[in-house]
Amino acid sequence: MTGVTLVSRWRNIASVFRAALRNPVLRRVGVAYALFAAAEFGVWIALLVFAYGHGGATAGMEMALVQLVPCVLCSPLFGALADQHRPAQVLRLGYLLQAGSMAAVAVAIGSGAPVIVVFLLAPLTALSLTLIRPPQAALLPAIVHTADELTAANVMTGWTDGAASLAGPAVAGILMALHGPELAVAAMAAMSAGALVLMLGVAGPAAAVSSDTAASDLDDADSETEAKVDRATGEVTTMPQAEPKGLGAVLAGARNNLHVTARVPQLRVLFVLHTFYFVLIGSLDLLCVVLAVELLHMGAGGPGFLNAALGAGALVAGFVTAFLVGRRHLATTLTVSLAIAVSALAMIELLPRVTSALLLLALAGLAGAVFDVTGRTLLQRSVPPDAIAGTFSVYESLMDLGLALGVVLVRVALAVGGIPAALCAPAVIAAVLLVVVWHRLRTIDTAATVPQVEIQLLRSIPLFAALPAPAIEGIARQLDSLLVAEGVVVVTEGEPGDRYYAVADGELVVSRHGRRLGTLSRADGFGEIALIRQVPRMATVTALSDALLYVLEKEPFVTSVTGHAPTASAARSIITDHLRSHGDTPRRDDPHQDDAV
């Protein structure tokens, strides 16, 4: 981690903030999302504290489960619902339900209603949260002016989640210390209401998928291929299959994803490890409450402060993981980071002081976040490109399952051996797990390919430079090289745009209506606006010399800059109303005229 690299990282961060803050609508949407994310983390810990105060660890476990289980069952349905309505409308609905359900919980707690009432209302807060992220990702392409803004918006979304994991629990801790969980939940409701107010003036695009075409799109997608796995080699191939209809298409897709996951050995290993990571996160949530109350005697606000320490570590990890981009071998980083996370947790029993606990939990949060990014990067390296989307849908499904298992683990460990057992149980499981999978993990790591040349090129392009390690490597794996001879026209003004081009070598000229606008050379890119705004090419690009380009097809490009895989298909239907507001002419102050192509 050299000083030059660190300075470069900070410059990328500054450029991201500048790009995002220039757009007033993007600022409003971003602040609304920040309020939502902080409320999400804050209300979670406040409800665990409330439950623990009325029934100990068992009630805390039950509170977590009544929120997680409905999300596991209903998230796919809500995701499909979000695709068939205007993203801005779905966001407003989500923020309204979030604010209303949290306010109802706050009133129930404050008025002394029976505990069962709070337990019945709690799942509504969790379900309302599942409505937010898919439409947020679908909305962003329609409210930005440039591709740089879109990348900046999605990078900032990731940082917002990290900052919220620190700020939300910290605010909840302060308010619980002042007046108990009801004040914390009420404040979270107010934050959600603020997010709703900010979204009132945002129109956004039309629905990504109309109700009339959603079923046929699913049918078309699932009727094309069926994954087949060679048991000897683990290679994934596709075969034609019969055309399922309606719900059958959705079930067929899910079955196909599970089939690939179950049959490919490297996926099984990586998913087992990542499921355990989610178990660890779930156990930490409940352990923060138990430790603050029973071991450290920190008072009502203690659980929030301990949970905020975890968030602080994860936020720092966002800078550390930038240096994992292009790293050839990750198995050691993966195992060491997991070992550090579980060891830091176990050491709290040896150093039962508030300051030590805060530092150790921050270390656990940092190491856990490094493990998460490293694991997702290795997963992308090991999965065939045409199976990545389905693989990560399974990955998302395992998250809530792991969180639920984590709180169950803590409750069982407490019953068996008290707090020491609960602190050490993750370390014991991790040690056994790593011993069992280490050989296979090394084999996966050795066999995985790392597109070093493509990664270095992407890191030199501002559009991609600030993306996290898994995203950059995922894009690099999908680039195709294209040699262009001098004089060849790469794209023509007025033609449909279906590719993004990154310049690796050579020089090209950009022209419009026969007038030269500028030149492109290494670390420049072109073609993004035609993909994002669904407009024809706005300029012609011709090779001035022999050139080496790297080509990224439309859907992988849109997926990478939106940060949400389902939005790749949704982007096909985004309405370009913002063009009328901001004009369709290229920027004259841009020497490379990237926006013109």
pLDDT of residue 224: 44
User: What's residue 472's pLDDT?
Assistant: 80
Domains of the chain: 14-204 (1.20.1250.20), 264-452 (1.20.1250.20), 478-596 (2.60.120.10)
DSSP output for 241-287: -----THHHHHHHHHHHHHHHHH-HHHHHHHHHHHHHHHHHHHHHHH
Residues 293 and 499: their CA atoms lie apart, in Å, by 56
CB-CB contact of 519 with 539 (8 Å): no
Query: How high is the pLDDT of residue 592?
Result: 37
Q: What is the DSSP letter of 84?
A: T
What backbone phi and psi angles, to 5 degrees, belong to 544?
A: -80, -25
The two structure tokens encoding residue 459 = 């890191």
Instruction: List the chain residues with pLDDT less than 70.
Output: 1-20, 75-84, 141, 145-152, 154-155, 204-265, 322-326, 383-397, 466, 469, 532-534, 559-597
Residue 452: count of CB within 10 angstroms of its CB: 12
Contacts of 300 (CB under 8 A, 6+ apart): 49, 176, 177, 180, 181
The side-by-side arrangement of strands in the sheet containing 540-543 is 489-491, 540-543, 508-512, 515-520
Cβ pair 558, 471 in contact under 8 A? no
Q: What is d(CA 92, CA 87) in angstroms, rounded to the nearest whole number?
A: 9
The whole-number pLDDT of residue 550 equals 94
- What pTM, to 2 d.p., does this model score? 0.74
pLDDT-above-70 percentage for the chain: 71
Cβ contact 293:50 at 8 Å: no
Position 573: which residue type? S
**Separation CA 378–CA 364 (nearest Å):** 21
SS3 label, residue 2 = coil
DSSP 487-504: T-EEE-TTSPP-EEEEEE
**Residue 427 C-beta-side C-alpha neighbours within 13 Å:** 17
pLDDT digits (tens, 9 = 90+) for 445-467: 887 777 878 888 888 887 777 67
Chain position carrying tokens 């022999």: 546
Q: Please name the helix (run of DSSP H) or strand (run of DSSP E) that holds residue 570, with its range, or none.
A: helix 567-570
Tell me how far apart the alpha carbons of residues 457 and 502 are, in angstroms, rounded to a whole number. 8
Contact predicate 341/393, CB 8 Å: no
pLDDT reported for residue 261: 60
